[in-house]
Amino acid sequence: MHCPLPGRQQRLIGIDSPAEWEDTLEQQGEVAALGRKVRWSRERVIIFAADMQGRQAEAVRLESPARVIRLSGGVLYWPVRKRVMDDQQPRQVRPCVMAIIDRAFWHRIRVVPTRPL
């Protein structure tokens, strides 16, 4: 999947509404990006995008290996794993991962790297 976030630098954001989705992710529908519609009254979306990988970089994919994201003391701990792909065609790629989470009170998200595959 092509990362729908604009820019080239690492970025971590939370999206709270359909209007914010439209403003942030131009021309990318919820179903195409997430596999289903978001129930905005009960859910939010979080997105982590890594730095743009140059033409000589190996193909990297980000994934969230856990089905549960831990909340502790107002901090959301999101495990994210970097996976090196067997892609033989180096190209400019910006890997990212998205998750739908239940609405809860948190003031910060911390991406926790897990062991690569």
pLDDT of 117 strictly over 70: no
The answer to whether residue 23 sits within a structural domain is: no
Beta carbons of 45 and 22 less than 8 angstroms apart? no
The answer to whether residue 71 sits within a structural domain is: yes
The answer to whether residue 86 sits within a structural domain is: yes
Beta carbons of 69 and 76 less than 8 angstroms apart? yes
Its pTM surpasses 0.85? no
The answer to whether residue 14 sits within a structural domain is: no
pLDDT of 4 strictly over 90: no
Give the pLDDT confidence of 16-50 residue by residue, as tens digits.
Answer: 999 999 988 867 889 988 999 999 999 999 999 88
pLDDT at position 60: 75
Structural domain of 81: 43-116
Q: Count of domains in the chain?
A: 1
pLDDT of 52 strictly over 60: yes
The answer to whether residue 38 sits within a structural domain is: no
Give the pLDDT confidence of 62-96 residue by residue, as tens digits.
Answer: 888 877 888 898 899 999 988 877 766 655 678 88
- How is the chain split among helix, strand and coil, in percent rounded to 5? 10, 40, 50
The answer to whether residue 47 sits within a structural domain is: yes
pLDDT of 57 strictly over 70: no
Identify the helix (H) or strand (E) that includes residue 78: strand 75-84
pLDDT at position 6: 79
